[in-house]
Amino acid sequence: MKSRLKILLREALDTLHRDGVVPRVPGTIPVERTRDPAHGDFATNLALALAKAAGRKPRELAEALAAALPAAPEVARVEVAGPGFLNFFLAPAAFQAVVREVLEAGRRYGRSELGGGRRVQVEFVSANPTGPLHVGHGRGAAYGAAVADLLSAVGYEVHREYYVNDAGRQMDILATSVWLRYLELCGEEVAFPENGYQGDYVWDIAAALHRENGEAMRKPWDEVARNLPPDAPAGDKEAHIDALIHRARTLLRDDQYRLVFDVALNYILDDIREDLEQFGVIYDEWFSERALVDSGAVLKAIERLQKSGHTYEKDGAIWFRSSDFGDEKDRVLVRENGQTTYFASDIAYHMNKLERGFERIIDVWGADHHGYVPRVKAALEALGDDPGRLDVLLVQFAVLYRGGQKVQMSTRSGEFVTLRQLRKEVGTDAARFFYVMRRCEQHLDFDLDLARKQSNDNPVYYVQYAHARVCSVFRQLEEKGLAHHRDRGLAALDRLTESHETELLRELSRFPEVVESAALQHEPHQLAQYLRELATAFHTYYNAHTFIVDDDALRDARLALIDATRQVLANGLELLGVSAPERM
């Protein structure tokens, strides 16, 4: 509807341009929904924006624009108002036609081909596979999935990817932690390191290892601990754990160490994959950092930077001159000990993404990684790629509240709240919805009591209830021995003239605009907000009027309207990964 007005305005502008009234026709034509019904249904500030360039008074230009506007049946009248706004009053039929549009498009209503099949990659969550996902990852998962689904809905070809950091030091700490627990299961008296992973899942992996390998990997604790630098609090816990890792590798040799490592990695990856699946988040690809390293891509990336002259050596390390590209300081690519950094892998990874032909790449990161953005963009620029093709979306933390109190979390002790626990406590639907209710830049206060509540306070239930209520009306219809004649309803849409009906029609017509805006701006909260408003319009209508009336045509028209409402609620909820139940 909005785009129809834009077309009309463009034609009018072309006319004015030909007549020499306006010097140029702008690329985008702003059309907005009005807040105040007195201002019509849609408005444009075109005249205000072009007045200066045209050398005319805004109101005068608006009059000219109105006069040049081609006639259209859906536009009842056009008014010049205020400082120079052009207000459009649409014919009732224009809104009534939305019912037909929705019912004919069905699940496709709201979708578009705007993206033209262009390929976009969305990488999200990508948590280190060193433990179960916690509630912080949950927000990234819900948000990333919603952004991906929205982009896909507006016609992009979306590739969902999880970057598996299976090559770093954290993984070595995990593998070593597992092995130490394994030794304990073998009966060794182990002084578990301060910096090791403490969670119960480490015991579970160790037990699996023990089951499958018996005591084949047992070494006496005396031998393991011999001459290690002291652990905290007396010593340096970092030095201690590094020495311990080194000792594990030496004693186990490569093949056994790799076995422990892989058992741990696969156990946790399987767990994460299952967790996300149950959260309704499915990936197209799980991309391994180790595979990237093994392929030589990391060395190749470093080489490319060296050849283009953006690196130098200092203190035995190889540095990337990222400060030349806006980063606050230079970064190490290859350490003094010859090992490449995580950053080097990440450059190779992003190179790889672009090489795979994605037109745009989107990274969803936790806000604590924001300092990392300039250096990745710097690397892309240094490599001759356009950093503008990368969008990094930073998601702020979620803080859980229970009984009005902040829920304390500590990753270290293993007492964190996992995503799985959250799902169990409030359900997937509530979790998915709550996570995307706020802008991603906004800290999220996640009220667990509210998410569990089954009342109108809870926005998820409120929206789902609207859907279930429509379904209930149709069940009621059947119980009364009646049937819905859709065609009769569609033929009688002009009977939908009550203010509540007009309001509901207006909401339904907004849906495609909301989906488009939410997708392009990467803001699923717009959709969540919209669904609540649509549900309100429906509940209000429900209370004000009876649908199952004696007048056949009116009844069928109203039923068509609420059926369309049900469809839009379902379509919207699906994009957020929330179910649309027929009864609750």
Binding residue for RNA, selected from 66, 225, 251, 367, defined by CB under 7 A: 367
The answer to whether 343 contacts RNA (rule: CB under 7 A) is yes
The amino acid sitting at 227 is N
Task: Tell me the two tokens of residue 489.
Answer: 């309803």
* Segment interacting with RNA, rule: CB under 7 A, options 154-162, 210-218, 296-304, 453-461: 453-461
# of chain residues touching RNA (CB under 7 A):
94
Binding residue for RNA, selected from 66, 72, 76, 81, defined by CB under 7 A: 81
Task: State the nearest-atom distance from the C-beta of 38 to RNA, in Å.
Answer: 6
* Segment interacting with RNA, rule: CB under 7 A, options 151-159, 217-225, 350-358, 473-481: 473-481
CA angle, residues 367, 130, 452, in degrees to nearest 5: 65
Q: What are the phi and psi torsion angles at 123 (to 5°)?
A: -105, 125
Q: Which of residues 432-451 bind RNA (CB under 7 A)?
A: 437-439, 441-445
Question: Which residue reads 């509530």 in tokens?
Answer: 430
Q: Which of residues 10-49 bind RNA (CB under 7 A)?
A: 30, 32-36, 38-39, 43, 45, 48-49
Binding residue for RNA, selected from 277, 294, 355, 368, defined by CB under 7 A: 368
> Who contacts 490 (Cβ-Cβ below 8 Å, separation ≥6)?
99, 100, 103, 557, 560
Helix residue ranges, H only, 370-524: 373-382, 419-426, 428-435, 448-452, 459-479, 486-491, 499-520
For 15, 167, 361, 473, 566, the CA distances from 103, given in Å and listed in that order, are 37, 51, 35, 17, 10
Binding residue for RNA, selected from 23, 26, 70, 83, defined by CB under 7 A: 83
DSSP state of 37: G
CB closer to RNA, 70 vs 326: 326
Q: Distance between CA atoms of 170 and 179, rounded to whole angstroms?
A: 14
| Contact in structure between 86 and 46 (CB atoms under 8 Å) | yes
Q: Which of residues 312-331 bind RNA (CB under 7 A)?
A: 314-317, 328-329, 331
Q: Which of residues 531-550 bind RNA (CB under 7 A)?
A: 532-533, 535-536, 539-540, 542-548
Q: Distance between CA atoms of 328 and 324, rounded to whole angstroms?
A: 9
Task: Tell me the two tokens of residue 121.
Answer: 């990659």
CB closer to RNA, 166 vs 271: 166
The answer to whether 89 contacts RNA (rule: CB under 7 A) is no
Binding residue for RNA, selected from 55, 108, 116, 128, defined by CB under 7 A: 128
Task: State the nearest-atom distance from the C-beta of 569 to RNA, in Å.
Answer: 13
The answer to whether 253 contacts RNA (rule: CB under 7 A) is no
Task: State the nearest-atom distance from the C-beta of 310 to RNA, in Å.
Answer: 16
* Segment interacting with RNA, rule: CB under 7 A, options 70-78, 190-198, 266-274, 393-401: 393-401
CB closer to RNA, 222 vs 339: 339
Binding residue for RNA, selected from 227, 337, 405, 410, defined by CB under 7 A: 337
CB closer to RNA, 44 vs 183: 44
Task: State the nearest-atom distance from the C-beta of 139 to RNA, in Å.
Answer: 12
| Contact in structure between 322 and 200 (CB atoms under 8 Å) | no
* Segment interacting with RNA, rule: CB under 7 A, options 17-25, 65-73, 270-278, 394-402: 394-402
For 120, 157, 357, 467, the CA distances from 360, given in Å and listed in that order, are 5, 11, 9, 35
Task: Tell me the two tokens of residue 119.
Answer: 């390929």
Task: State the nearest-atom distance from the C-beta of 539 to RNA, in Å.
Answer: 3
Binding residue for RNA, selected from 57, 77, 107, 169, defined by CB under 7 A: 169
How long a stretch of residues is the chain? 584
Binding residue for RNA, selected from 19, 212, 238, 274, defined by CB under 7 A: 238
The amino acid sitting at 580 is A
Task: State the nearest-atom distance from the C-beta of 63 to RNA, in Å.
Answer: 14
The answer to whether 309 contacts RNA (rule: CB under 7 A) is no
Strands 390-395 and 85-90, bridge-based pairing: unpaired
Question: Which residue reads 């690329």 in tokens?
Answer: 27
CB closer to RNA, 345 vs 418: 345
Task: State the nearest-atom distance from the C-beta of 181 to RNA, in Å.
Answer: 21
Q: Which of residues 48-67 bind RNA (CB under 7 A)?
A: 48-49, 52, 58
Task: State the nearest-atom distance from the C-beta of 47 to RNA, in Å.
Answer: 8
**SS3 at position 338:** coil
Q: Distance between CA atoms of 533 and 27, rounded to whole angstroms?
A: 32
The answer to whether 278 contacts RNA (rule: CB under 7 A) is no
Task: State the nearest-atom distance from the C-beta of 43 to RNA, in Å.
Answer: 3
For 9, 137, 138, the CA distances from 18, given in Å and listed in that order, are 14, 56, 55
* Segment interacting with RNA, rule: CB under 7 A, options 181-189, 193-201, 253-261, 519-527: 519-527
How many Cα atoms occupy the beta-carbon half-sphere of 369 within 13 Å?
16
DSSP states along 74-135: TEEEEEEETTTEEEEEE-HHHHHHHHHHHHHHGGGTT---TTTT-EEEEE-----TTS--BH
The answer to whether 350 contacts RNA (rule: CB under 7 A) is no
Binding residue for RNA, selected from 363, 429, 523, 556, defined by CB under 7 A: 523
Closest C-alpha among 261, 229, 268 to residue 137:
268
Task: State the nearest-atom distance from the C-beta of 169 to RNA, in Å.
Answer: 4
Binding residue for RNA, selected from 336, 449, 498, 552, defined by CB under 7 A: 336
Q: Which of residues 175-234 bind RNA (CB under 7 A)?
A: none
DSSP state of 456: T
* Segment interacting with RNA, rule: CB under 7 A, options 4-12, 62-70, 75-83, 222-230: 75-83
The amino acid sitting at 178 is V
